[in-house]
Chains A and B, each alone.
Chain A
Amino acid sequence: MDVKKADYDRLVVVYASDLYRYAVWLCKDPVQADDLVQETYLRAWKSLDKLKNRDTPKPWLFTILRNEFARQYSRFRPELSEIDPDILELKDTGNDTSTEAFVLRRALDMLAEEYREPLLLQVLGGFSCEEIGAICGISKGAAMTRVFRAKQKLREILEPTINAK
């Protein structure tokens, strides 16, 4: 196997799951998410030689996916529906059907995109606010503010649920 293909396969093994989850939350459709991830990897394959720092390809892949999403789907944003709860087959909660989990999913879905996206990148991608800023084209401070506000909103929404227990 040549070096480029081996490098590419490593990117698939290590990052495909995170990218897919991020894509589903971005476009709210698993089929489109699948297409988006495939397009991302196709572009990554074609531009692999341009990857400057081979030790940090993750932000690069997320940026490609994000740009591809903006290119393909941004004009359809007004038509996007809420995320279908059926596609959220929760991996680590044993299909948590509690009221709290339901409320959290709805709350996440209702967050404005400018707040939800940095939060997704932090929680799903494990990125620092500096990396989030670089991916989203905003400053580190702006990324911190948006993540803070997103969590603040979620806490406000969840608070009555927690208190009602």
Chain B
Amino acid sequence: MIDCERFKIAFTAGPRDLDPELASHSDDCPDCAKFAESIRDLDIKLLACMSIEVPRDLAATLKEIPGYSAKGKSNWLIFGGFALAAAFLLGIGLSSVYLPDLISQPATLQQVVYQHILGEPQALNAVFPVQEAVVNTTLKEFGVSLQKPLGEVMHVRLCPVGDTFGLHLVVQGKRGPITFLFLPTKTVDKSLAISQGHFVGYIKPSPHGVIAVVGEKGELLGETEAVVRDALKWL
């Protein structure tokens, strides 16, 4: 028997940190369900209150930093150029001996997608849907908005994915969570299948880069993909 007070304290401290047994307590306890709703309401208000407008040129300014930090180091660059040339020549010599052992194949896009999904287990284990305000804010920062309901979003975040970045979105499917990765800077010529363990899915070209869809075996991924694509409007 789970103590209501224990649930309330743990839920207030962090819904994301709840273990599933404790999280399910509110299903059978109307008082705790009402309490959980009030905490979600508070979290939404807090997020809105803290969401300060970010200067438009912030990202552009920050991207310039490596250029500025390199200034004033021209002597080092000249020295570095010689050092680099020497290292290159040395490398050519060594590579003839060691290269076959050192070269590793770059990860395929399927592997990158799969590794990213495994690297964020909390996205697959989320117990509660993400608050609408969080969904809207994250989508907007990625450059899309919702034009239709998306259903229960269990996870949404802008993520570094391999050597690029993307929108990581997880919605609830019939057999489990379905992961969507929108990668605007990637391209593929044709659809690529993903099949790893109990996960299946695909990566396909889209008008905005590529989209990866991964879910449990037997899940109707195409139907869910149509709903998600229909719900998103690119800004």
Contacts and interface: CB of A to CB of B under 8 A. Distances in A.
Contacts of B116: 55
A57 to B, nearest CB: 7
A57 B160 contact: yes
Contact of B160 (A25, A55, A130): A55
A38 B66 contact: no
Contact of B47 (A3, A92, A101): A92
Given A54-B160, A55-B160, A144 B46 contact: no
Contact of B63 (A12, A24, A37, A158): A12
Interface in B114-162: 115-116, 119, 122, 133-134, 136-137, 141, 157-160
Interface string B35-48: 00011001101111
Given A12-B59, A148-B12, A151-B42, A90 B49 contact: yes
B9 A148 contact: yes
A65 interface: no
A112 interface: no
A30 B131 CA distance: 27
A124 interface: yes
Contacts of A13: 59, 158, 165
Contacts of A62: none
Nearest to A123: B46
A143 B12 CA distance: 12
Contact of A38 (B46, B52, B61, B134): B61
Main secondary structure on B side of the interface with A: helix
B17 interface: yes
B163 interface: yes
A6 interface: yes
Nearest to A130: B17
Contact of A128 (B16, B39, B43, B119): B16
B125 to A, nearest CB: 11
B52 A37 contact: no
Contact of A92 (B14, B51, B157): B51
B17 A129 contact: yes
Interface in B35-79: 38-39, 42-43, 45-55, 58-59, 61-63, 65-66, 69
Residue picked from B52, B134, B163, most chain A C-beta under 10 Å: B52
A87 B158 CA distance: 25
15 contacts: A10-B164, A11-B160, A21-B51, A34-B58, A38-B61, A91-B48, A92-B136, A124-B47, A126-B134, A144-B14, A145-B13, A148-B12, A148-B13, A151-B12, A154-B42
Interface of A: 3, 5-17, 20-21, 24-25, 30, 34, 37-38, 41-42, 45-46, 54-57, 87-93, 96, 100-101, 104-105, 108, 119-120, 122-124, 126, 128-130, 140, 143-145, 147-148, 151-152, 154-155, 158
Given A7-B160, A15-B158, 17 more contacts: A5-B66, A10-B160, A10-B165, A11-B160, A13-B165, A14-B158, A14-B165, A16-B58, A34-B55, A88-B49, A90-B48, A90-B49, A101-B48, A108-B49, A124-B50, A130-B17, A144-B13
